[in-house]
Amino acid sequence: MPKVTKKSGTKANSKAKTTKKTMVKKPTVKAKTARKTSPQKSKASSENIKQTATPQKNSKPYLFTIFIGVILLSIVIGQLFVVANMNRKIGYLSLSMGGVIDEVGQKLTVTDQLELLGNDMNELRSYLYLPTKDYSFGTESVSSEDNSLTDETAYNQGMFMVIESIHKKQTKEEQTNTANKLLDSFLEEKQFTSKLSDVGLAFGEKTEEGDLLYLPILLSDGTIFAKLTYHSDINQWELFDYSITDFYDSFKDFDLIVTSYISQISDTKAKYDEYVSLGNQVSELWQAQDVSDKLNEKLLHVENNTILNTENEVIAKTSVSATGNSPSIIWDTGETNQTFNSFEEYKDNLTDMISSLDSRTIAERKISEQQNLLQSIIDDPAFTQVLTDYGLRISQEPIVEDDRIYYQILDASDSVQKQIAIERNKDANIIIVDQDGLNPIPLKSFIQSEDEGSKKK
């Protein structure tokens, strides 16, 4: 700033000197002319000229210098304020950015954090009166105006999926081929075929059904006794027979289990024969005279060891369980079940169990439940008192029709005011009808309308 002032002063002084020379030069000629006429007048004129020139030399340059200095000082002060404000904003942004990154850094991707940093940088540039920049960090690869990159990404993903599907198919085929060879190893094991033959069993033909590849073990009549199965969709092995269903992740484990299973196949076959024999005994027992008579008395019949009523609704089931050391018989009514470890015990209790069955249809049971519920309300002393206070009563004996059971509400002159009806179907709804049995309204709707009325009040 002093340099600028010095330069300005130099120019002002030069200008003053030029003015001085010009102003002094002209009076000199006049002085020569005036000296001839009046020396005193000439001296006075020279002094006046000096006095006039002196203010022009001292005032103008200094005023200009002061003006320039004030402007520069203002700029410097303004810059100091800007720098101070900038430092404060930088500190604030640093703290803010640090807090944001610490708080959500784990939840944001790298791109998200870079975008936050770019936004903060643009805010900082705006404080410095600098133009903002686009810190997209590659996020503008997908443009709303140009979907070529989006298509490229989709095609890229599609290509990977195609290759992946081919790889999965190849892997599945390789695993199935391997499974085929492993199952063949069972067929080629003479020790296995010999043990199976000793108990009347034999390997069947390998069969592939969808995702299943299995080798059956057959009875002499061709019935499947067990299956050695490979599931290609889940890459697992399964051992299945009448009593077990086990899965294994590796063929090594499966091979050990199959080896153990076939080595004990004589015991397994004996238990199976006992299981089948017990099932046959249970099925034949339904033809016994005392059992058949009891079923007819209860209007029941049996299909596949399942007891049904006249509407073919399940009333009870009998099944043979293969779990445990020996098979057992299970009696299941849906509400209770009993287990019998011997056929004799089951046989001795069968007729009594049939007698205890509720052979009614589901609708009949529901209707009976609704009748009992309604009768309990009618017999309630509080309800009876209300009827008496209002001069009303309810008929003691209901009127039974094909589709409804009616309870009439009578006044003092025995005129029917309303009727309470139970519908004779599976729902067994309780409804309110008029004297002629028309205009049915569900009993529950009175509760709902009463509640709505209370809310309105």
pLDDT tens digit sequence for 40-98: 444 444 444 444 444 444 556 667 677 777 777 777 676 666 666 666 666 655 555 55
Burial call 151-170: b when 16+ CB within 10 Å, e when fewer:
eeeeeeeeeeeeeeeeeeee
> pLDDT per residue over 324-336, tens digit each?
888 999 999 988 8
Residues 402-411: contacts with CB within 8 Å, 24+ apart?
A: 404/437, 405/367, 405/371, 406/433, 406/437, 407/374, 407/378
Residue range 88-143, pLDDT digits in tens: 666 655 555 555 455 544 445 555 655 666 676 666 556 555 566 665 555 444 44
How many residues are present in the chain? 457
Query: Is 258:228 a contact under the CB 8 Å cutoff?
Result: yes
DSSP 83-120: HHHHHHHHHHHHHHHHHHHHHHTTTS-HHHHHHHHHHH
Is the CATH number of domain 171-263 2.60.40? no
d(CA 311, CA 221): 37
The answer to whether residues 46 and 29 touch, using CB atoms and an 8 Å cutoff, is: no
Token pair 């009696």 is at which residue?
331
426-448 tens-digit pLDDT: 888 898 998 888 988 898 887 65
Q: How far is the C-alpha of 120 from the C-alpha of 10, rounded, in Å? A: 49
**Within a 10 A sphere around the Cβ of 315, how many other Cβ atoms?**
20
Report H helices in 128-189.
Answer: 148-188
- What is the rounded distance in angstroms from the CA atom of residue 88 to the CA atom of residue 127? 11
Q: Can you give the pLDDT at residue 118? A: 65
